[in-house]
Every structure is written in C-alpha cells, then in structure tokens.
Structure 1
Amino acid sequence: MAKLVIVESPAKAKTIGKYLGDGYEVTASMGHIRDLPASQMGIDVEHDYTPQYISIKGKEKLIKELKAAAKKADEVFLATDPDREGEAISWHLANILGLPLDAPDRVTFGEITKKGVQEGMAHPRVIDTNLFNAQQARRVLDRLVGYKLSPFLWRKVRRGLSAGRVQSVAVRLIVDREKEIEAFQPEEYWNLDALLSPPGSSRKFTARLTSTAAGKKLTVKNGEQAEAIRTSLEGQDYTVTSLEKGTRKKVPAPPFITSTLQQEASRRLGFTAARTMRAAQTLYEGVEVAGHGMMGLITYMRTDSLRVSDEAVAGAKAYIGERWGQDYVCAYKRTYKTKSATAAQDAHEAIRPSVPSLTPDEVDKSITGDTAKLYRLIWSRFIASQMSDCLQDTVSVGITAGDYLFRASGYVVTFDGFTALYEEATDEKEKKETALPPLEKDQVLKLRELKSEQKFTQPPARYTEASLIRALEENGIGRPSTYAPTISTVIDRGYVERDQKKLKPTLLGRTINELMMEQFPDIVDVGFSAEMERNLDKVESGQADWRKTVDVFYKGFEQSLEQAEKNMEGKKVKVPDEESDEICEKCGRRMVIKTGRYGKFLACPGFPECQNTKRLVKDTGGRCPKCGGRMLQRRSAKGRVYYGCEGYPQCDFMTWDEPVPDTCEKCGATLFKKGGKLYCAKEGCGFEKQVRKGENHE
C-alpha cells in the first residue's frame, strides 16, 4: 500500500507528488478542516477555555475521503506548511484520522524542490504541541475578543462592525497619524543656496547656508531675514575653509522576511500585502518552469528569520562570480541579526530563491504577471545580499562668506558592488548627493547665483501599507503573517480607505476608535498589545501555559466589557455623515456620503422630506476626449472600476484605462494609462509614449 502524504493545496500536492514518485499518494486538505463554530462562541470559558472544534461545513466529503485513504495507507505523513497554522492543521488532521500525537509523522519543507522534499521526508518528527498551542491561544483570544466586542458595537453603533486584538491597534495608529496631520501647524523657513564654481572651471555645484561663520546653527524664518542675509553677502568672497575627504561603504539590505517583502513589494511594485502573499504562495507551492518541470521557486514565505543556508550562499556566490566577476562576490559570510526571540520562528530560512542560479530572465519564459514580478524582486534582493559592498569616495566642504557658513557634500562611486543589481526602495524622498568638482582648502570660489526659496515644514505623511506594516512590526503588534488580512479587514469594515495608496481613516473608523479608547483602552494600547504578543511567543517557545496566558487577558477584558455596558446603558453612538461637494439638485442641500448594503452612495441630508440619492462617483481631474467634460471614476455592477464622462448618457465615452495628470504633447488633451504606456484618446491624435522606469503618473 502507498504512503499517504497530506498537504494543504492541490498545487503543492502536484509539485511534491512529482518528487516523491511511486509508492506515495499525495493529497490536499484544502486548508483547515476543523475550526471553531461560526454560529456560536465555541469556547468553554468555565472549563479552562476549552475550544469546541467542529468540522468545517462543506468538508464532510473530503474528511471521509481522507479517512479512507489513511486507513488504506501503510504510513501517513502530515506535510502542511511549516508555521503555526500549518502545525494546527496537522494537529487537527491527526485527531480526525486517529493518528497518535506522539508519532513521528510530521514533515515540513523549507522549499519545494527535489532536495527540499527529500530532506523533509528524511526527518519526520512529532507534532510540535507548543507551536500548536501558540496558534490555539491566538485563535481563542481573537474569538473571545471578536465574539464579545462585535455584538457590543452592533448594539451601540450599528450592525456589521467588528473589533480585534490587532485590527483595533492598526486603526488607532492610522487615526492617531491623521490627528497629527490635522493638528500640524506649518512653520515658514527659507533656504539660501549658493551656486558656485572653482576658479577657471565651468563646473557648478550648490552649497547651502547652514550656520554662522562661528558655527552657530542658523534657521532663516522669513523673507525679511533671508533678504537681510542676501544683502550682507553682497561682494563677499566664498572661501573653502574646511575640506574633509573620506570613504564609506554601503552594504546591501538583508534577504527578505515576510514583513520586509510586503513593504518592498508595496513600495516598488504597488502590491497590497494580500496580493504579495498570494503571489508568494504560488511561487512557494510550485509552478511549471521550462526545462525544470513543476518546482517551488522560493523558500517558505512566512518567516521572521534572516538565516540563510550555507548551500544557498555558495550557490549565490558562484552565480555572482560567473556573472560579474570575483570582485563582486562578498569575501566573507554575511550574518544578519534576527528580531525574533523564539526558536520556532527561526526554524525557517529567510525568503530566497530555492535555486539561486535560476534567473528571473529564465523564469520569465514560463511565468508572467505578479508571480514573475515578485520572483524578480526576491531573487534580486537575495543575490545582492551576497555581493560586495558599494564603495564611495566622499567629500564635505565648508565655505565661508562674510559672517556665514555654507556646506556642500558629495560622493563618487569607486566600486558599484551590489548596486549593479539592486538597491532597496524607501518611502521617503532622499536628498540626492552629487559629485563635487575638485576643490582645495583656502580656495576662493566664484559665485554664480545666490538663490533664496520659501519653504514650509510638512506634516507627517499618512501611512501607506508599507509604512503601516513597518510600524506594526516595530511596535511588536501581531505577526507578519497577520498583516495582510488585518489591513484587508479594516478596509472591508469601512474603518480605513485607500487614497492614492495612502491609508486614511473614515468617520466610521474614527468613531469606533474613539469608542474603543474610551471603553476598552487596553485593546487599543500599543504597549499592552505588544506585551500580549510577547506572552504568546512564550507559549510558542514552551515558556508559558496557553490557558493561563488566555486567562490573564480575559479576566481584565471581561471587567472592561462589564464596565462598558454600564457606561453605555441606554446610549447609542451616532456616526457623523461625511459631506460631499455634490449639491442636491432637488433641494439645494450639500449631499452626504452614506454606506448601504451595496457600498457608499450619495444621499440628501434632508431625508425624509427630500429622498434624493445618487451613485457616488469620484472626479479624476481628467477631461473627456470627446466633449471636454469631467472624467469620473465609477464602479460597474460587479464592482470593477471604470472611467466615464460626467455627461453620460449624452456623452457615452468610457474606458477601463485610468486618466493621469499628464496632458498630450500634441493636442493638450488628458492622457490615459494602459500597461506600460500613456496614450491620447482624442480622435485623430494618436499620440502615445512609454512610461519610463521610476516615473510616477498618479
């Protein structure tokens, strides 16, 4: 009889089946097969928080088939994903199939390649109960919080709302940032820049006023002060009074872990966290690659570890030496400090290509779209991490003019190293340094122009998915595997909305956050949530009992809930209406945005006297190429975004392609974006141009 191997997905089963060959039957559990009941809490609080697991509805037939296959098999191996959720699925499978929990039937694959599968099958182990209990504790806690808080919110605000251990903290971070932005008072300041050149040279460079000649830091606060300084500098010599030369090394970023992959894919590719994880799951489970067959292209994508196997390092360095030469190979073994404190989270490697020599160009012949883009990102980051440092010669100069000191700095790349392949993207716009011309101490420079420019301090930026994930990780809130579903949840609930890739709290989100801060301060407290996460990590490492950990939290939470019921007795919270710019054509009032069962719509605030409603549309800023009317963003009946003229039905122009701020170089009409090009839709024009890498047309 065959040996039975149970994995989670059919794609993974297909890939692993190819490597195991005859004598093995590989089948899929299709994810979890048991869970807490959907219609009731399913936690026996009175008896040590015992979970009441049931088979998931619709999986009865699958469970019956798995039982029959297990009964016929000589051996059963549980090969679900190598993380908390995977361990829990294996634990439930063992219980349903009647397998002893102390049997060495659990196998894990760090990568789904022939070597990775053979390695996993050669080292079966018993189910890690600590890992399972960590998952169970989180599941029980989240159920207790959600099942108790959601009905409270339904009664006090409205139905369909939810709160949670991680999502409520995420909403608070977004709301707090919005409050910072609203409270921000911009302050005026002025930059004074001198455009200079060495004597006898046409090469120009810019130096900025930073301090007095005596070294006292100087901030120019208004135009009068700027003009006074300009006047005092008339006729002054600009002399190089300090000149510092040096060298610096720029080191590559480490290979990806789950959170940094989500951040970089957001910044560089515009992917949501959920989109990133979908593509990564496909790459891990296996795709058909020409010349290689079905194979997993990356190692496991849910990891907090920066550890890399010696074999992978050797493979990367061999490729680097062949591709760029030995000078580009890092001469020592790079080691990166892992934030994770638990051994279980360090059980995996960092996210890397399973075969370092398999380049994106070769893989692109077999895969396209998100998976191809993400593989290129993962491959480039890993290969770059094993390359030599980038070496730069730096120069910093102080230039004295009258009573003031100007500074300029620059660098020249003497060896590009890893930057020949990859550099990490950032959320912030960095000040670009440029190379300076040759300068000497005591040299008197020629002033070409003295420019003053008015500026204002800027408020903190709204969170993007990338910066929110970084904030959650830095504060120890949740785990990287939870970030994608958390962000999806707060958007789906209507607490947060995306605005030009920025996360903005809605009035509903602000209302719920205010209520939570008043009645359940611990749930939305960053420090408290981080401490709870550390306690759950102790369960995972076997240092704490999961039931006691849950009990400590729940007793405090239960008291808060009872107090909140007393505080809110007979009260209901009203969510304020959001005003729009649309005027009701029936009564002249400013229409408000409401949310119904099919999403947002415009309604007259004069209800019930005026019952006018409209579909909610968004002005894109573009103009219709047929009639010149405003181009509005609309949604189809199936929820797909499209763009149409405000003059519909008189003007029937519509397109799936997004209008951009750029205008046509031939006729001045609005341009539209499709794939990697911009084009003019005005009849008879025909103008189009490619979007260059790094350009932003939003």
Structure 2
Amino acid sequence: MQKSLVIVESPTKAKTINQYLGCKYIVKSSIGHVRDLLVRKFNKKYKTKQSISQSSEKDDLMYQIGINPYNNWKAEYHILPGKEKIVSELKNIADTVDHIYLATDLDREGEAIAWHLKEVIGGDPSKFKRVVFNEITKNAIKKAFNNVSHINMYRVNAQQTRRFMDRIVGYMISPLLWKKVSRGVSAGRVQSVAVRIISEREHVIKNFVPEEYWKLSISLFFQEKKSIILDVTHYQNKIFRPMNKEELDLYIQIIKKSNFTVKHREDKIFFKEPPAPFITSTLQQSCSIDLGFSVKKTMFLAQKLYEEGYITYIRTDSTYINENAVKTVRTYIKQHYGDRYIPIEPNTYCNIQYSQEAHEAIRPSNIKTTNINNSNLNLDAQKLYTLIWSRFVASQMSPMKYQSSTVVIIANEFKLKKIEKIIVFKGWMKILKEEKNIVSEISSLKIGNLLFFNKATSVQKFTKPLPRFNEASLVRELEKKGIGRPSTYSTITSKIQEKGYVKIKKNQLYAEKMGEIITIRLKKNFSNLLDYNFTARMEKNLDKIAENKIEWKKVLNSFFKDFSKRLEQAKKKPEEGGMEPNTIVMTSIKCPICYKKMGIKNAITGVFLSCSGYDADPKKRCKKTINLTSLNEFKNNKKQQLIEKIHRCKECKMTMDSYFINNEMKIHICINNPSCFGYTLEKGVFNSPIYLSEVIQCEKCYNDMILKTSRFGKFFLCIKKDCKNTRKVLANGEISDPKLEPIPFPELLCTTSNASFVLREGTSGIFFAANTFPKSRETRSPFVEELARFQNLLPEKIRYLASAPITDNKENKTIVCFNRKTKQYYIGSKKEGKFTDWLAIFVDNKWLVINKKK
C-alpha cells in the first residue's frame, strides 16, 4: 500500500486533519519553523593573526548574521535548536513514503515553512507537493488534496526579502545604537515605525494645552407638563461655547427670560448597512473593545479555533466570502429569522487599500455550529467564536432601518436642538447588538409650539488631546498607513513592549523615554526607515515579488545601497552629520556618597540620576544612582491631569516631564532631553507614591531592600548579593506582599509522572506544580479538601482557605480560584471538568455561598 506524509505546523492542526484523512496518510507537525538564518558570535581567539589583520569589520559582521549582501545575498540557514529530533523523524518517515504533502498555512510565511521543510528533508524533489486550504473541514481538505500544486518560490522569495531586510536593519543598526545611545537597545524595520507612531502621539499629548469650556442643557415643559431636554448649540448664529462659569451664568440669566418656540422639525428614514465580516485587524479591534483581549491573546485563541476546525484561516485582509458559504448563511438566516432579514442580493464588501492576499474573511467553518463544546478550548475561546459567528451572520443580513428626528427650538438669539433615533426595523442589529427601544420624547412637537423653561443644567468640560493608542487602534493605524500585514500585527505590538520602548497601562500604549530617543535618532539618520510612505511602498514591493512582478534581489540591492550610505554617515561624529549621542545632562544635585554632581541619564530601564563620579578611575568609581518616578504614573484623576500646571523648558520652551526624586523634591526635565539640557528642581512636601517613603526589609534575610527599575517595571531588590529576593511595585504604587515560599506536599502525587506536588504562588494565586519542574510541567489548582487535610502546612495568610466548604450543594468538589483584578481568592466547583454556577467568597471572616444564576 502506498503511503503519504502530510506535514503541518502545529500538533493540534495535525490531530484535526488526521480525522479526515484515511490510513494511507501519516500526518506530522513541524511545530512551526524548523530553519532560520544562522547567527554566530564572532570570537577573535579562533582566528589566526593573519586572518584577523586581513578581515574587516564588514566581513566579521557578515560572518555573524548569516547573509552576505556583498555576495549576491548568499544565505546560511541552520536547523533551529531543539528541532533536530523533529527534522530527523520527518526525514526517516519521508524515506518510507511515496508522496510528501506540505500542508502549511496559505500565507507567505506558510509558503516559506514549506520550502524550508523540503530543503531540510531533501531527497527526490518530485515527491513533494504543496497543499493549501482556508479551513480545516472534511470538504476543504478533500478539495485541497484533489488540487495539489508546487511550492511558489515567488512567495518564498517575498518572505526571504522581508526576513533579510529585517536581519540587516536589526544587526547593522543595533551596534551603532549600543555605541551612541545605550547598551541593549535595537532597531526593527517595522517595529521602529510603530514606535514612531506612538512617540509622535505622545509628543502631541504632552504639548497639548487644555482649554476650559461649558456645555448647557435646558429642560423645557410642553403639553400635559411633559418635559424635554435640549442642548444649547448656537448663540447669535455662532457655536455656543462659554469659556468660564461667569460667562455661562450670564447666558443662563438671559435664556431663563426667553420664549421657546419650535422653529424647525425634520423626520428622515435612514438605513444602516451591516459591518463586513472580520479580517485580522478588525477582529483584533473588536476583541479589544468587546472582550478586552490583547492582540496577542486574540491571535492565540483564533489560531486554536482555526486548528480545531471551527473557523477559517485567521491571517487575512480580504472580506471576500465564497459562494457556497454565502448560500449557506442566507439559508440559515431565512430559517431562523425570516425573509425580512435577508437582502435580495448577497452583501459584498470592498477590500482595504493595501489588501494583498486573495483569502476569505474570517468566518465559521460550519454556520450550524452556534456554540462550541470542546475541552481543548477555554471560555475565552468560546467568546471569541461567538463574536466571529455573530459578525459573519450579521454581515449577510438586511440593513437596520431607523427614523432620525431633529427638533430646533429658538429662544431669542439662542438655538436649542435635540436629535432622536428610533429603530423601525432592527435588521442585522437583531443578532449583533442589543439595542434598547427608545420612547420618543419629541413625537408630538410641531412647528410653532410654545414651550416653557423648567431648569438649566451645565457641565464643565476641557478640550482633550488625541487619545493614546491601544493595541487595537495601533493596528488600525498601521493598516491605514499600509505598514505590516495581518501575519505581522501581533508580532509588532508584542515586540515593541518586550523591548521596553512602549509600555501598556490601563489598555493604553505609552512611549517610554528610550523609545522616543531612538525614534528621534533614527528619524534623523535613517529617515527612510521611519518614513510611513517608504515602509508602505516596501510592503507593496513584497507583494509584487510574490506576484513575480519584481525580481527580489533587485529590491534588496536597492534597499541595501541606500541603507549602507546612511549607516556610514550615522557612524560619524555629530558635528559631521553623524548620530547624536545619548549624553548625560548634568544637574546641581550632589551625590549623597561622594558629593560630586549627578546627571540625568536615559537607559532602557528608564530615566534616572547617575553620579558623574562613575566615569572616574575604575578603582575610585562611584556607582550611586537615584531612581526617578514619573508623576504621570500616579495621576488617577483625569480632570486633575488636564488642569495641572504645565512646566515649560526655559531653554527651548517645550513642555517638561515631571518626576519624583523623593518626598521633598521633584525634577522637571525637558521632553527634548538629552538634546536639550533644560531642567528645573521643585522643593516642597509632596504626596509621592508610598514606596518612595517606605523602607522595605527583606522577609528572608532581614536586610534592607532597594528600589530598582527594569523594562518590566519597578521592584525592590535585597541588598544581600546571595539573597536575590524581590518585591514588585504594583500598578497602584503599592508594594506587593512577600511571595509564598514553595511548600512540599509529598503525599499528593502527580498523575503524569512519579513526581509529587509543591504548592507555589504566581500571578494567578496559589497552584500545585510538580516538584521535578521543568522535567514535569504538570500544574493544577488545589482542591479545598486537600488544603483542609494539610492545613498545618499552610502559612497564616492563606490558612483561611482550608476552612472553605469542601463540596458544593450538589456534592461536587470545590476548588481554589483567584480573581486577578481584585487580587482575592474565592471558591468554585467543577462538574465533568467545567465550572458550575456555585461559588463562595470570604466576607467578614466567614464564607458566603453564592449561586450565580440567582
């Protein structure tokens, strides 16, 4: 019997596909990429004196990065560490089969993985076939295997072009940034553009000067003492916008004495078309708004749904839906909602400007699957599926019909307006949004009606700058500018945070100081890299390479020629047009240890004060630093933020960033630092964060702990070198409780190994983990009965959990749960692996049982 090998990227995908293929097929997973560009660490001790003298800095760099642009872009690939066993297994199976089907994803990344697999497996090239499918269903797979093709090298070359450019930018600019700016920083071809978008928005926000204004609403009586509230929109044919309370009170006195007459009324019928089915970016945006998911989490869950066969391929920027899927969903709508909810012709949608792939939009694989019941998928994955299912069904429904009524009332020289929207026919909103039925307040009003003053209501407002980006709105901005592609959005948003150039707080992206500095340096010396149009054009060129319209090495040569010139120029001294260094800005503050002056320094960990004695003789070097804490981290009142005094730099007149030094001193630093040397000191008694005034003692060795800053935030570190104990500073400025020391439970055995459990504490509360970690990675939540049985082992702070009910009202075992938002424990129960509606919370030193359905 002839056998065939099918290779996919993930084990889950392999398992799902295996259900639909017969015994003639062996389905294996490569677990993602198996090969990448080689990276070497250059070490001179392995080179002879002659070779060292003959080698140049250029040769050494090419030796390290695995590609050589000076030698027709010769590339050196290597099998990724840890993938040797997988490759060996695939090779062995490949020798025993007649056909090898490369069924990796259908985007360029998937095409490249297929090519790499073919290269590492080797053997007869005629054995390899390419198989692509948009969804993992029986029909789609059957159709795909009846329409096999070959690897598309144009698409592979497009992926290689992107990879080569990213490698060149990352590895050739980073040494320069280490030398000129700070150790540990780096640049990315697309990531740096994303940081620029956030940095420029940050600049706008910091320089924004809020202006006070007031809004006025008037309540009026009309027939049978009914009242209606209208907004005052105009005065003397100009927009009504009082700038202070005194001006507003004057207007109120005038309007109270006025006669109110209905001057104009207009009723119109409007139709609102349904939104398009999801593409990658709109899915990420909706998940952020509706479900509170990060871009990374959304893509992780969507990938799971795709691999389990519930939805179509998730990396797409096309709104196209195939004819059969449209027919199926229209039938479903007719059966469940009626003919009124189906448009005469199917709805079609235009693709975005830079749409590249001829894929389908994201939709359910089977429209009849309204809810999923799969132990491999958690509640969040089920929520995501419901969102995708609802959006797809709604996209093929009739438009929503509503009546918009506008009433204009004149009172002397004032104009008052009210607009009402009443839904006449829900259409697609029946499934996608729960709209409340609004009772009309103005239906009986007619032109010429008189109304009478009841009361005035005013609200103080302040003009606001553009909002900060969140992950989803950043993706939307990248998409609008043609930067990146569906397969790269998640990587972009994750990397800029991991590198420490951007931080996320309350779902908003803030540019860190180092991110701003790098943006300014790159914008000056590598203007094309950070140019939005250049990056968008490069994305178009990659598309053209994939379509065989441009030769890929020509694109690379053109890019590298310009890049090399800019790099050499940037290496020069600043006075010769080179990159400006990240200099220390000296202040009048004296070092508490050696009394030398301290300077403002910027590093990947943040802004801090550093003693100028650090640059002295290494034997006499002073290493004293003082952490600076940004005031922005502790402005919880938005109104307070708007009206707080803005400090201006005396040197360049720009706004200044404000920091706590301690409880009695603030420092205001020009946002153009270190290019501008402006700063001011402010002394007084300040309401600074708790951790600046508290002395922390290590609970392990009882030594003092000092405040430190990393790219992941602030924390306290024990001064004893061999202790290494840490305490995290929480988002609200408080210091985290001491971590629970691991507690061995030798009598509780793991189910997957001979190991026993250890009780540990993490960000999600206490949990049991195998004592042989990482050899065994088994973890689970503790049952209450287990804590009750061994309560003598528990520390005081969690001993109360052992007193919780051991079973719920239906004799299901109870389990310890943790709410990450409130940082509190509660007790739940499970039946057949799923949580029930029963839970218990600890209130006033006793357990209170709650049934969520009630």
Provide the secondary structure at the position in 1 that maps to 2:171. helix
1:351 aligns with 2:362: yes
Which structure has the higher relative contact order (CA within 8 Å, separation 6+)? 1
Provide the secondary structure at the position in 1 that maps to 2:224. coil
In the TM superposition, what is the alpha-carbon distance from 1:364 to its structure 2 partner?
A: 6.8
Q: Is the contact between residue 134 and residue 360 of structure 2 (CA under 8 Å) also seen in structure 1?
A: yes
CA distance in 2, matches of 1:358, 1:543: 42
1:378 aligns with 2:379: no
Provide the secondary structure at the position in 2 that maps to 1:298. coil
1:517 aligns with 2:523: yes
Q: Is the contact between residue 677 and residue 691 of structure 1 (CA under 8 Å) also seen in structure 2?
A: no
Aligned to 2:652: none
Q: Is the contact between residue 100 and residue 127 of structure 2 (CA under 8 Å) also seen in structure 1?
A: no
Q: Residues 117-168 of structure 1, C-alpha deviation per residue, up to 9 Å, x if partnerless?
A: 0111111112112211111100001111111122223333444332101111
Give unmatched runs, 5+ long, in structure 1: 287-295, 426-431, 622-629, 663-673, 693-698
Aligned to 1:546: 552
CA distance in 1, matches of 2:840, 2:483: 41
Aligned to 2:715: 601
Aligned to 2:638: none
Aligned to 1:326: 339
Identify which range, 523-532 or 297-306, moves more after superposition.
Answer: 523-532
CA distance in 2, matches of 1:101, 1:129: 14
Aligned to 2:769: none
Aligned to 2:775: none
Aligned to 2:613: none
Provide the secondary structure at the position in 1 that maps to 2:409. strand
Q: Residues 297-333 of structure 1, C-alpha deviation per residue, up to 9 Å, x if partnerless?
A: 1000011110001111111111112222221123221
Q: Which amino acid aligns with 1:641?
A: T
The change in CA–CA distance for 1:368 and 1:125 in structure 2 (over 3 A counts) is same
CA distance in 1, matches of 2:740, 2:552: 48
In the TM superposition, what is the alpha-carbon distance from 1:71 to its structure 2 partner?
A: 2.5
Provide the secondary structure at the position in 1 that maps to 2:392. helix
In the TM superposition, what is the alpha-carbon distance from 1:474 to its structure 2 partner?
A: 0.8
The change in CA–CA distance for 1:561 and 1:675 in structure 2 (over 3 A counts) is farther
CA distance in 2, matches of 1:180, 1:424: 37
1:492 aligns with 2:493: no
Provide the secondary structure at the position in 1 that maps to 2:460. strand
CA distance in 2, matches of 1:513, 1:633: 37
1:339 aligns with 2:352: yes
CA distance in 2, matches of 1:19, 1:134: 32
1:683 aligns with 2:850: no
The change in CA–CA distance for 1:158 and 1:677 in structure 2 (over 3 A counts) is farther
1:536 aligns with 2:542: yes
The change in CA–CA distance for 1:233 and 1:676 in structure 2 (over 3 A counts) is farther
Q: Which amino acid aligns with 2:95?
A: K
Query: Which of the numbers 261, 273, 288 marks the counterpart of 1:239?
Result: 261
1:206 aligns with 2:206: no
CA distance in 1, matches of 2:222, 2:428: 33
Q: Residues 391-425 of structure 1, C-alpha deviation per residue, up to 9 Å, x if partnerless?
A: 10110111101111011100111111111111499
Q: Is the contact between residue 464 and residue 501 of structure 1 (CA under 8 Å) also seen in structure 2?
A: yes
Provide the secondary structure at the position in 1 that maps to 2:95. helix
CA distance in 1, matches of 2:849, 2:90: 60
1:86 aligns with 2:97: no
Provide the secondary structure at the position in 1 that maps to 2:243. coil
Query: Which of the numbers 596, 617, 622 marks the counterpart of 2:729?
Result: 617
Query: Which of the numbers 678, 683, 692 marks the counterpart of 1:583?
Result: 692
Instruction: Give the number of the structure whose alpha-carbon radius of gyration is greater.
Output: 2
The change in CA–CA distance for 1:445 and 1:103 in structure 2 (over 3 A counts) is farther
In the TM superposition, what is the alpha-carbon distance from 1:185 to its structure 2 partner?
A: 0.8
Identify which range, 103-112 or 416-425, moves more after superposition.
Answer: 416-425
The change in CA–CA distance for 1:675 and 1:197 in structure 2 (over 3 A counts) is farther
CA distance in 1, matches of 2:840, 2:182: 44
Provide the secondary structure at the position in 1 that maps to 2:325. helix
The change in CA–CA distance for 1:683 and 1:636 in structure 2 (over 3 A counts) is closer
Q: Residues 186-215 of structure 1, C-alpha deviation per residue, up to 9 Å, x if partnerless?
A: 11111111112432252x332111113x63
1:24 aligns with 2:25: yes
CA distance in 1, matches of 2:360, 2:799: 52
The change in CA–CA distance for 1:499 and 1:676 in structure 2 (over 3 A counts) is farther
Q: Is the contact between residue 245 and residue 393 of structure 1 (CA under 8 Å) also seen in structure 2?
A: yes
Query: Which of the numbers 297, 302, 306 marks the counterpart of 2:310?
Result: 297
The change in CA–CA distance for 1:652 and 1:3 in structure 2 (over 3 A counts) is closer
CA distance in 2, matches of 1:424, 1:135: 43
The change in CA–CA distance for 1:365 and 1:420 in structure 2 (over 3 A counts) is farther
Q: How does 1:362-401 map to 2 (within 5 A)?
A: 363=373, 367-401=377-411
The change in CA–CA distance for 1:545 and 1:660 in structure 2 (over 3 A counts) is same
Q: How does 1:4-15 map to 2 (within 5 A)?
A: 4-15=5-16
Q: How does 1:146-295 map to 2 (within 5 A)?
A: 146-202=170-226, 204-212=227-235, 215-286=237-308
The change in CA–CA distance for 1:636 and 1:446 in structure 2 (over 3 A counts) is farther
In the TM superposition, what is the alpha-carbon distance from 1:23 to its structure 2 partner?
A: 1.7
Q: Is the contact between residue 110 and residue 349 of structure 1 (CA under 8 Å) also seen in structure 2?
A: yes
In the TM superposition, what is the alpha-carbon distance from 1:86 to its structure 2 partner?
A: 0.7
Aligned to 1:36: 37
In the TM superposition, what is the alpha-carbon distance from 1:37 to its structure 2 partner?
A: 1.0
The change in CA–CA distance for 1:566 and 1:2 in structure 2 (over 3 A counts) is same
Q: Is the contact between residue 252 and residue 423 of structure 1 (CA under 8 Å) also seen in structure 2?
A: no
Q: Residues 536-580 of structure 1, C-alpha deviation per residue, up to 9 Å, x if partnerless?
A: 222122221111111222222222221222136895554122523
In the TM superposition, what is the alpha-carbon distance from 1:434 to its structure 2 partner?
A: 7.5
Provide the secondary structure at the position in 1 that maps to 2:316. coil
Q: Is the contact between residue 94 and residue 100 of structure 1 (CA under 8 Å) also seen in structure 2?
A: no
Q: Is the contact between residue 7 and residue 29 of structure 1 (CA under 8 Å) also seen in structure 2?
A: yes
CA distance in 2, matches of 1:318, 1:284: 24
Provide the secondary structure at the position in 2 that maps to 1:348. coil
In the TM superposition, what is the alpha-carbon distance from 1:382 to its structure 2 partner?
A: 0.4
Aligned to 1:464: 470
The change in CA–CA distance for 1:166 and 1:102 in structure 2 (over 3 A counts) is farther
Q: Residues 440-465 of structure 1, C-alpha deviation per residue, up to 9 Å, x if partnerless?
A: 11111233212222211122221111
Q: How does 1:87-106 map to 2 (within 5 A)?
A: 87-98=111-122, 105-106=129-130
Provide the secondary structure at the position in 2 that maps to 1:67. helix
Q: Which amino acid aligns with 2:458?
A: S
Q: Residues 217-256 of structure 1, C-alpha deviation per residue, up to 9 Å, x if partnerless?
A: 3322222221221121123221110101001111211111
Q: Residues 600-654 of structure 1, C-alpha deviation per residue, up to 9 Å, x if partnerless?
A: 43589xx9xxxx9973412648xxxxxxxx785888899943699xxxx998899
Q: Which amino acid aligns with 2:414?
A: Y
Q: Which amino acid aligns with 2:312?
A: T
Aligned to 2:763: 641
In the TM superposition, what is the alpha-carbon distance from 1:81 to its structure 2 partner?
A: 0.6
In the TM superposition, what is the alpha-carbon distance from 1:491 to its structure 2 partner?
A: 1.3
1:411 aligns with 2:421: yes
The change in CA–CA distance for 1:184 and 1:303 in structure 2 (over 3 A counts) is same
Aligned to 1:437: 442
Q: Residues 88-145 of structure 1, C-alpha deviation per residue, up to 9 Å, x if partnerless?
A: 0111222233367788811101110001101111111121122111111000011111
